[in-house]
Structure 1
Amino acid sequence: MTNIPPSENSYVVDQESATEMARLIDQDAMVSRQMGGLFPPDIDQGRVHDVLDIACGPGGWAMEVAFEHPDKHVVGIDISQAMLEYATAQANMQNLQNIEFFFMDATASLEFPAASFDLINIRFIVGLMWKEIWPELIKECKRILRPGGILRITDTDDALIGANSSEALEKLSILVTRAFYRTGRSFAVDEWANHFGLTPMLSNFLLEAGFTNIREVPHMLDYSAGAPAHFSHTHNLEVAMYLIQPFLRNAGIASQEELEQLYEQMLIDLRQDEFFGIWTFMSTYGEKSA
């Protein structure tokens, strides 16, 4: 696979940030609740013994799997030393003997032998992937899956925002999608499209790589005022929209002053009793032919 130049960080925020680590821990728990569990409900978990979590971050999903399924061997990989150290420390504190974490770049060749895993999980990596890398990553996942193994990708087409009632949040969403377009992360055909265009591509990528029995499961998270997910996701947005500002500024999308004004107005809007918002994301998964 094509290696990203080591001098260039592909992630849109500081991958070693403790604030980003805390955000990802909370987001992992929120997303798993919204998805109704750790695994797709229609797979035979009895056939899943070795599990890989790509770009695992602080290891939230991986450790939940290891805790709930002590019979499974779980591996998490990431390029953030801080997050890997945190995940390893947490696993040791919980005395999880069936989990390991390794430094590994998802945009390069994966350092595992062929047919090593029964299930590979990938969540929300649109922020670290150039669009040309996606087909290569999926082919690499197929290589390290066993026959009958499952690759599941869960991702989104916007900056965690979706449809909402905040003008400031809508403008921030457009700035993010423009920056993704300019930096080669978006599949949208126009810079002003308010989406990444990723999720419609995933099933075709899996099909082209030779996966079968491909399924698409949409998820909808209501974070309107008064909704159960309101506090958790609005806090998620507050942190994410703060941390992404250097990326937007460096992409030439907006000045720091403009970003600060939009951010302050977003904070006000999210706290209004009449605020509404629905964020959508999708899981696409398929099987390696036996």
Structure 2
Amino acid sequence: MSNIHPSENSYVMDPESAMEMARLLDLDIIVNKQMGALFPADIDLGRVHDVLDIACGPGGWAMEVAFEHPDKHVVGIDISRAMLEYATAQAKVQDLQNVEFRFMDATSKLQFPEASFDLINARFIVGFMWKEAWPELIKECMRILRPGGIVRFTDTDRGFSPTNSAALEKFNIFASKAFVRTGRSFCEEENANHFGLTPMLGALLAEAGCENIREIPHMLNYSAGEPAHFALAHNCEVGIALLAPFFKKTGVASQEEHEQLYQQMLREIRRDDFRGIWYFMSAYGEKPL
């Protein structure tokens, strides 16, 4: 798989940012709890021995798997040196000898031989994937999967929306515009307030030859007073702060516009009457035997 847009850093945030690392660690905890299990409930874990986590970030999911399943070998890949160093250090501190982390770009050919893994996992990679990179990545996943292996993508179409925060919804439109302008969105309408990704995941898996495809929706209520409110609202605040350079670069909002709207969002998201729902989805399928 040749590089897509090789002259650009494809991640919409700074992948070496300490703030982004902390945000991803928190998000892993939130998502793991919401999904209820590290693996799909309907697969035979006895057939899963080698696991790959694409865009592993600071290694939250990969280390959870390694800890709960010491019989499995887990590999995490990412393009952030800082996150890989953190993940490697944490695995050493926890004496997790069945997990390793490697530098690798998911928008390029994956440096693994054919039939290397029984399960491939990728979560929330929409932030660095161009539209045309998706089918290429899934083809690579199919190449390095063993027959009968599982490939699973968990992702979202939008930021932490819908909500009753006018400012947060405006930021979601900014993100939609920026994704369209940089070739990341499957929806070509800039004001659509979504990326059009989740309706495509099952079709993309099918086009790559996956069988027995399943789609599992997830919904997280982070309204004021709900258990997830503080954690997800804080995650949202950090993420939108880190998006300021991306919005400026794509021409959807100046630094001044971002800051003014950001302060409004902070007031609205922290009110007692704030209401917000976050939707995401898992789609997974099997490589034919």
TM-score interval, smaller chain: over 0.9
Deviation at 1:2, TM superposition (A): 2.2
Provide, for residues 55-93 of structure 1, a one-character-per-residue CA deviation record: whole Å limited to 9, x for no partner: 000000000000000000000000000000000000000
> What's 1:223 paired with?
222
1:78-93 aligned at under 5 Å gives the runs: 78-93=78-93
> What's 2:72 paired with?
72
Equivalent-residue separation in structure 1 for 2:229 and 2:124 (angstroms): 20
Q: Give the SS at the match of 1:193.
A: coil
State yes or no: 1:13 paired with 2:2. no
TM-score, normalising length from structure 1?
0.99
Equivalent-residue separation in structure 1 for 2:234 and 2:190 (angstroms): 28
Aligned AA (2:246): F
> What's 2:264 paired with?
265
Where in structure 1 do 4 or more consecutive aligned residues deviate above 6 Å? none
Compute the RMSD of aligned alpha carbons: 0.7
Q: Is the 8 A contact 2:4 2:133 kept in 1?
A: no
Equivalent-residue separation in structure 2 for 1:82 and 1:44 (angstroms): 34
Deviation at 1:7, TM superposition (A): 4.1
1:200-219 aligned at under 5 Å gives the runs: 200-219=199-218
> What's 1:50 paired with?
50
Equivalent pairs: percent with the same residue?
71
Deviation at 1:4, TM superposition (A): 3.8
Q: Is the 8 A contact 1:219 1:282 kept in 2?
A: yes
State yes or no: 1:178 paired with 2:177. yes
> What's 1:168 paired with?
167
State yes or no: 1:197 paired with 2:179. no
Q: Give the SS at the match of 1:66.
A: helix
Equivalent-residue separation in structure 2 for 1:198 and 1:2 (angstroms): 22
Deviation at 1:5, TM superposition (A): 5.1
Q: Is the 8 A contact 2:173 2:190 kept in 1?
A: no
> What's 2:129 paired with?
129
> What's 1:255 paired with?
254
Q: Is the 8 A contact 1:63 1:91 kept in 2?
A: yes
Equivalent-residue separation in structure 2 for 1:5 and 1:287 (angstroms): 29
Provide, for residues 103-139 of structure 1, a one-character-per-residue CA deviation record: whole Å limited to 9, x for no partner: 0000000000000000000000001000001000001
Deviation at 1:189, TM superposition (A): 2.7
TM-score, normalising length from structure 2?
0.99
Deviation at 1:37, TM superposition (A): 1.1
Provide, for residues 153-187 of structure 1, a one-character-per-residue CA deviation record: whole Å limited to 9, x for no partner: 0000002x121010000001100110001000000
Q: Is the 8 A contact 2:4 2:130 kept in 1?
A: no
